[in-house]
Structure 1
Amino acid sequence: MKITELSIVFVLIFLPIFWVVSHHTDSAREAQYLSNRYRAALQTAVMDAGAIMHQNEKQNDEAGYDSSKFVKADKELALLTFTQTMALNMGIQDDPAATKAMFNYIPAIVVLDYDGYYILANETELTGKLEGSFRHVWSPKKPYTYSDSNGSSMNFTLDGYVYAYDAGLGKWVEGFQKELAPSTQIPLLQNAELFEQVRRTRIVTSVQEDLAEVINRHNEFARRNGVSYTFTMPLISQEDWYNSIDDTGLMAFIQGIPVGNEKINNYAIGGGRLVKKTSIIGGVDPVSGIKYYYPSTCGNSYRAEEVFTDAKQAAGQGYFEYNCSIN
């Protein structure tokens, strides 16, 4: 067989293989890009929501609490901010239907407040119509509860402050663990190290148990909306759990969005404490349309689009540094 004939045979045999390999490589690259984009969108949305959830907090609500962690979370503002940032980063901010459909893949959002938590999830509603039988609702605030074998019970907070029923004394007491230890008969309050261990474990366990149940129920909602994915509780490291309960904040989960041959299964955690450093605003110059970042204390007429925790993160999202001193 001549060289030219061998070349033709080689091309006929291997060209389809090269095409398939190239196609899979392009698909994998696209899947990786989308995966990173969705994860970044979720993390940014959670950080935005966590940063803004306390902006309307009234200081007099904090009277009587010697704790920098006592702030009342504005969960509705947090949800609005989360939704807007997610839609913006996914390119569907002008499509209400797509924004609504996005929540098919968000089985739960958790707002961790100082003395309890809320979970946003789909719940059944007796509407008589299949398409309207689910709607997103916030759960009532669920306290971080604990009880012992002696009949005493406690509601924990994100620090050492506790609301407790002392079965031995037959009365309710409240205060910091170190303050209550000498005047109560509750064994857990007598040991500061054990108290802290049990407090953290109980808060994490309470949220985990509720989340697992909510995510499991989301499967029924997803099936009715054509999502062929089984939602499960994601594997979250113990370190992430303990970091999440160090402060008030927000947790969100995204699952089931197809990316190539795989599907996204991710979560993000964002804090919202008032004493955090000055946030970085990502804004747009209404004249030039150029995106700039600047401290929230900087006065200008730019339209705010996003909130970041530092300048590096803002620059990574395509914003240029704005010189506030020129104002």
Structure 2
Amino acid sequence: MSLLHVGVVRGGPSHEYEVSLKSGQAVLEALAEFPEKFLPLDILIDREGQWHLAGRPMAPQRLLLQVDVAFLALHGEYGEDGGVQGLLDQLGVPYTGSGRLASAVAFNKALTRVVVQQAGVRTPRGWVLGPDDDPKEKAGYIFRATAPPFAVKPARAGSSMGVSKVWTSAELQDALERAFAVSSQVVIEEWIEGREATVAVLEGWGGQALSALPEVEIVPPQHHAFFDYEAKYSGETQEICPGNFPKEVKETLARMARTVHSHLDLRHFSRSDFIVHPKRGVFFLEVNTLPGLTAQSLFPKAAAAVGLSFPQLVTHLISLVRAECEGRGRVASVGVV
């Protein structure tokens, strides 16, 4: 019986390079628990975009010839925006996670807002600024339309990179400068006070085509205004799974997460973030098409709540890829798992 060659792709030219290294390492360690089934290949993309196999620089076209399935542990630019997916599609290498077009749309918060709103999912009131917009003119309009505070977000970034909470026009100008340093488009949304939650969605689990795992309630430390990059990876944030929400809120969160996954045409797994206002209800914030898989990550925590260990989660995602290969008549060392 041949081993399945699983290329774990990590790193990449994004702001989330370090997080991706940790996710990839966790996946490699999980695969190492099944030496009779998998041959893990450590594929690193450095910050300059150079691909490496086991530490040796190599062209991706040559490197990927050795791979049956690519397990994408990338985050941010190139990994979640459809870049690497386009290359893998071109080379005919199957991979975990969403396809090229779905990844590109979901990575753009402005486009995502449009798609989920059309599906009936509520989002905070918002505005999109591009490089040709006059920030001062737009800021004046926004402050006249809605009372502060506001959330300022790069349209194309993850892990809360470049996100700011602002109260004044001067703060908004500074926040726009920071956000435009990360992305050519910026989303400004009304800031909704409430309890933060995230919901993981997993295909093919528990006898269902699409399952929403138990929600995780996120309680950032008091010295953080919100669940920003530092709060996500400092280990100080309380992550309660399942969250302490009423039944109807839990059901709404699960329904919205499944709707987001379906209407964005996502694949295998995703994780959607929400804010729950005590009177206005649940609002969708953003979706992650390649959720973090580090020791502090939320998707593995939600999976553990339904008895799915991290190694089981990893092998399940690979099995989804292999099932698709078999359905298309493509053999990826079939008969391994």
TM-score, normalization by structure 1: 0.25
Select the structure of larger CA radius of gyration: 1
| TM-score, normalising length: structure 2 | 0.24
